[in-house]
Amino acid sequence: MERIVEAIDPRPDQTFLEIGAGAGELTIPLASRGAARVLAIETDRMLFEKLASMLQKDGKSPEVGEDVELIHADFLKLDLQKLLSERGIRRVRVVGNLPFSVASPILFKLLAHRERLVDLTLMFQLEVAQRLTAVPATKAYGFLTVVAQQAAKTELLFTIPPQAFNPQPKVHAAMVSLVPLGKDEPPVGDYEVFRAVVRGLLTHRRKNISNNIKHLSSRLVGGSSIQSGLTEMGIDSSRRAETLSVEEFAALSHFCASPP
């Protein structure tokens, strides 16, 4: 936990959104290390009440004080824009140990609001972390990779063995840093079209692009528009779909969303 807090490096002028606060293993160290404010979200009623009790006790300490606001909610059902706006928070840093079963939907929701996020330091199952940080033409490179890296710079910080947890999971975990690209984000034209292009071409990732186009089925984008985009960009359709870079996927999507 100390290593995680060091990687986050909280500062006195920063506000944090913690997803999956649990029993406060990260919440209290963040607050005690100087974070200006921590909004800690926990969906489990028992853990929520346990942490609320701990915070009430620790709240008497000047190291924690009233810097933590505990919120009982399912993050996937939460209106994030409303939550931040009601509290006068313009941008926030995101941290958390994400439940492995819903880690991807949580990440997609966060990235959809990335203009409000300074950065994200999150724990994932190691396999997911490797996908988030993969490079083209590798086994881990896929839909999750492209969608995440179009929006943010990703970095695998370190792995965490099962022995670090109680109870022990059957898999390793890893901490990942994601920093929104902002103005450096490659434009995609239309985000839904972008996801349709990426998913369609990577469904059979090791097949060449022309074969994938034949099997493409989407109401948002057709094989003919993708082929026109490939021709316009000078991309050989005999390449495997998994060799396309994030920037190439973005440019292809931009063409399909608004062809000349």
Residues above pLDDT 90, as percent of the chain = 67
Q: What whole-number distance in Å separates Cα of residue 134 and Cα of residue 214?
A: 27
pLDDT at residue 130 in the model: 98
**Phi/psi at 231 (5° precision):** -65, -45
User: Where does the pLDDT of residue 56 fall: very low under 50, low under 70, confident under 90, or very high at 90 and above?
Assistant: confident
CA 114 from centre of chain: 9
Range 45-52 average pLDDT: 92
Q: What whole-number distance in Å separates Cα of residue 108 and Cα of residue 218?
A: 20
pLDDT at residue 217 in the model: 61
Q: What whole-number distance in Å separates Cα of residue 176 and Cα of residue 143?
A: 17
**Helices in the chain by DSSP H: which ranges?**
2-8, 27-32, 45-58, 80-86, 103-112, 126-132, 143-151, 191-202, 209-214, 223-233, 246-257
Lowest average pLDDT, out of 61-65, 131-135, 201-205, 206-210, goes to 61-65
What is this structure's pTM?
A: 0.91
User: Where does the pLDDT of residue 64 fall: very low under 50, low under 70, confident under 90, or very high at 90 and above?
Assistant: low
Range 236-252 average pLDDT: 94
167 upstream amide cis, omega within 30 of 0: yes
Q: Is the confidence at residue 65, as pLDDT, over 70?
A: no
Q: Which CATH number fits domain 191-257: 2.60.40.1840, 1.10.3720.10, 1.10.8.100, 1.10.260.40?
A: 1.10.8.100
Kindly state the tokens that stand for 85.
């706006």
pLDDT at residue 59 in the model: 52
Instruction: Give the tens place of pLDDT for each residue, 73-99.
Output: 999 999 999 999 999 999 999 999 998
- Is the sign of the CA dihedral 74, 79, 81, 83 positive or negative? negative
Q: What whole-number distance in Å separates Cα of residue 75 and Cα of residue 43?
A: 8
pLDDT at residue 60 in the model: 46
Q: Are 235 and 252 in contact (CB under 8 A)?
A: yes
**Phi/psi at 42 (5° precision):** -140, 130
User: Where does the pLDDT of residue 66 fall: very low under 50, low under 70, confident under 90, or very high at 90 and above?
Assistant: low
Mean per-residue pLDDT of the chain: 90
Instruction: Give the tens place of pLDDT for each residue, 114-139.
Output: 999 999 999 999 999 999 999 999 99
CA 32 from centre of chain: 26
Instruction: Give the tens place of pLDDT for each residue, 139-191.
Output: 999 999 999 999 999 999 999 999 988 888 889 999 999 999 999 999 999 99
User: Where does the pLDDT of residue 62 fall: very low under 50, low under 70, confident under 90, or very high at 90 and above?
Assistant: very low
Classify burial at 210, counting beta carbons within 10 Å of its beta carbon; exposed 0-12, middle 13-18, buried 19 or more: middle
pLDDT at residue 4 in the model: 94
Select from 110, 86, 102, 107 the least CA-distant residue to 43: 102
Q: Are 70 and 52 in contact (CB under 8 A)?
A: yes
Are 2-182 and 191-257 the same fold in CATH? no
pLDDT at residue 61 in the model: 46
Long-range contacts of 225-230 (CB under 8 A, 24+ apart): 225/255, 225/256, 225/259, 226/197, 226/200, 226/201, 226/252, 226/256, 228/255, 228/259, 229/255, 229/256, 229/259
CATH number for the region 2-182 comes to 3.40.50.150
Range 50-62 average pLDDT: 70
Sorted by where each begins, the domain ranges of the chain are 2-182, 191-257
